[in-house]
Amino acid sequence: MLSKKLHSCRFDANDICRISSALTKILNVTAKRQVHDSSFDTSHELLQTDSGPVVPSRPLPLIIQKMDYPSRFAPPKQAWIESLGTIEDEKLGTIDLHPEIFGTYPRIDILHRNIVWQRNYKRISHAKTKSRAEVQGGGRKPWPQKGLGRARHGSIRSPIWVGGGRALGPRGPKSYFYMLPRHMRVLGLRTALSCKFAQNDLHIVDSLEIPSDDPAFIEELLDTRFWGFSALFVDDTDIMPRNISLALSKVPQFNLMPVYGLNVYSMLKHETLVLTLAALEKIQQKILHQMHKTSLDRSFKNERVRY
Amino acid sequence: MWGSSTPILNSTVNANITGWSRQLADRITNGGILSTLTRSYSSEPPDKYDPPAPFRKPGARRYGWVNKLYGGGVLPRSDKPIRSLPAYKPKDSWNRKRALFGQNDYIDILGDGDIHPVELITGPKWLIGFKGNELQRLVRRAKIQGSQMRYLYPTKYHQMWKRIRFLNKKYNMKRSKRVR
């Protein structure tokens, strides 16, 4: 069934060999099982032509089925490996995704808590009003207590006076800082990735190399493939290829991010999420590490005061 | 009807009535007896405001009312700018700050683990990674910046300590006072 679907893809056999050998090198570094690369499979039918070289009759898909820590309870999810080289979609193969990261239950409440945390933990409000003690003046009693027939007052800066201090106004720079438990933030990332995958907004590409640095190419690509109005491209390092950096700098809705910058708010703000294979590998590794590690977190200690 | 005569009556009078009735009819048409009785002062002809009954008579309505609404044309003092609400500018949801909001918030999970998101917060030093009510914030500020403030900003220092003493009494020595 897979081969029938890929039958219409047009790419060179040399390209596939190049891509798959590069990928094999990357993925074999951390893999426990050998990467299955079907380009070295000799069971394909080859057309023997009189004039030219040997050409495979059907394209060679990339099937990546390795999993460092496979789940014992659910089969892996599968996603296409696509390419950004041409405007039309070119599917290079499939890859297995960890079901606990890309197939968790869609916990909308967890997403909400993560987004609220992201909005508030950095917030410092500088609103401040002067109290009656801080407003200039107002030390003397304006007129004697009795005898004048006027209301009794002790100071011209009391809150009932015009120009007086504010009784219960905002007081000083105030912070709204708090930290969500680490497992809740990890679950937020997993839920966001699962929701993106389930709604067909997650796309995995081999790399972020594009042929031209014209933003029109990327805009047309997203238009043709119906990827949406906004897209977030995630690579594993913060040094991006030249063409895509130049193209996306002109369009504010398409943004580039390294893996360490990924977050729930950005995933939900952008309609589509595009991950490279290397970024996907890194994300899965980091999240699985957080899910299964037993050591305590001692990197941040609240109430730390440096004199 | 008073002070005026119907055209029908006019025509019938001239045609059919003779003698004494004719005289009477002539007086009516020429504005004799009835016109003096009714005392009409208008200079228009008597049948000008004479519609077919029972419809509303046309004529000047709300006489003496001046229209104060602006009906177009040059305004007085046209050099002065007309004040109005500023034009609506929708916020740019995709400017640099908003498009990349939240980046690096999970850097302790997805990065190498040596940076915590608290280190990314910018603001007053005594508030980074800290949340408290007003008294707690002031005490923390006094701990961190108090010695500096005592000589650099003496008025502020004095007011801060006044406020600390006031809040301490308010929160800890009174009944039913809300801590904020």
pLDDT one-digit tens code per residue, B116-140: 999 999 999 999 999 999 999 999 9
List the 20-79 stretch of B: residues with Cβ below 8 A of A: none
Percent of chain B's residues with pLDDT above 90: 46
Assess whether pLDDT exceeds 90 at residue A268: yes
* Shortest Cα–Cα distance, A286 to chain B (Å): 6
Q: Place A3 in a pLDDT band, splitting at 50, 70 and 90.
A: very low
Minimal-distance CA residue of chain A relative to B139: A305
- Contact B143/A at CB under 8 A: yes
- pLDDT: is A246 or B113 the higher one? A246
- Contact A133/B at CB under 8 A: yes
Q: Place A14 in a pLDDT band, splitting at 50, 70 and 90.
A: low
Residue B156 per-residue DSSP state = H
The per-residue DSSP string of A250-263 comes to S-TTEEEEEGGG--
Q: What angle do CA A223, A224, A225 make, to 5 degrees?
A: 95
Assess whether pLDDT exceeds 50 at residue A43: no
Which helix (H) or strand (E) segment is A55 a member of? strand A55-56
Minimal-distance CA residue of chain B relative to A289: B109
Region of poorest pLDDT, from A52-56, A84-88, B150-154: A52-56
* Shortest Cα–Cα distance, B173 to chain A (Å): 19
Give dist(CA A96, CA A74) in Å, integer.
12
Q: Tell me the pLDDT of chain A averaged across its residues.
A: 85
The answer to ipTM > 0.85 is no
Contact flag A299-B104 (C-beta cutoff 8 Å): no
What's the average model confidence in pLDDT over B148-175? 95
Q: Which of B103, B113, B127 sits opposite A263 (nearest CB)?
A: B103
- Contact B113/A at CB under 8 A: yes
Query: CA dihedral defined by A186, A187, A191, A194, rounded to 10 degrees?
Result: 70
Is there a contact between A230 and A222 (Cβ–Cβ < 8 Å)?
A: no
CA nearest to A278, candidates A23, A35, A17:
A23
Q: Beta strands A77-82 and A202-205: pairing type?
A: parallel
- pLDDT: is A146 or B48 the higher one? A146
Residue B127, helix vs strand vs coil: helix
Backbone region of residue A138 per phi and psi (left: phi > 0; alpha: psi in -120 to 50; beta: other values): left
Beta sheet of A202-205, edge-to-edge order: A62-64, A91-97, A77-82, A202-205, A272-276, A231-235, A254-258
Contacts of B128 in chain A (CB under 8 A): 175, 177
Minimal-distance CA residue of chain A relative to B121: A122
Contact flag B106-A189 (C-beta cutoff 8 Å): yes
Q: Place B7 in a pLDDT band, splitting at 50, 70 and 90.
A: very low
Give dist(CA A102, CA A202) in Å, integer.
10
CA nearest to A45, candidates A33, A36, A58, A32:
A58
Q: What angle do CA A252, A118, A240 make, to 5 degrees?
A: 40
The one-letter code for the residue type at B130 is: F
Residue A186: the pLDDT is 97
- pLDDT: is B34 or B110 the higher one? B110
Contacts of A182 in chain B (CB under 8 A): 108-109
Q: Place B177 in a pLDDT band, splitting at 50, 70 and 90.
A: low
Residue of A113, A263, A273, A286 to mutate, interface with B, max B Cβ within 10 Å: A263
- Contact B148/A at CB under 8 A: no
* Shortest Cα–Cα distance, A146 to chain B (Å): 29
Contacts of B161 in chain A (CB under 8 A): none
Contact flag B103-A266 (C-beta cutoff 8 Å): yes
A102-106, B25-29, B63-67, B73-77, range with greatest mean pLDDT: A102-106
Minimal-distance CA residue of chain A relative to B136: A174
Is there a contact between B143 and B160 (Cβ–Cβ < 8 Å)?
A: no
Q: Beta strands A77-82 and A91-97: pairing type?
A: antiparallel
Assess whether pLDDT exceeds 90 at residue A296: no
**Residue-range domains of chain A with CATH:** 62-120+178-292 (3.40.1370.10), 127-175 (no CATH)
Contacts of A174 in chain B (CB under 8 A): 127, 137
pTM here? Answer: 0.71
Backbone region of residue B61 per phi and psi (left: phi > 0; alpha: psi in -120 to 50; beta: other values): beta
Work out the number of other CB atoms within 10 angstroms of the CB of residue B24.
15
Residue B4: the pLDDT is 46
Residue of B96, B98, B105, B130 to mutate, interface with A, max A Cβ within 10 Å: B105
List the 200-239 stretch of A: residues with Cβ below 8 A of B: 230
* Shortest Cα–Cα distance, B62 to chain A (Å): 47
Work out the number of other CB atoms within 10 angstroms of the CB of residue A262.
29
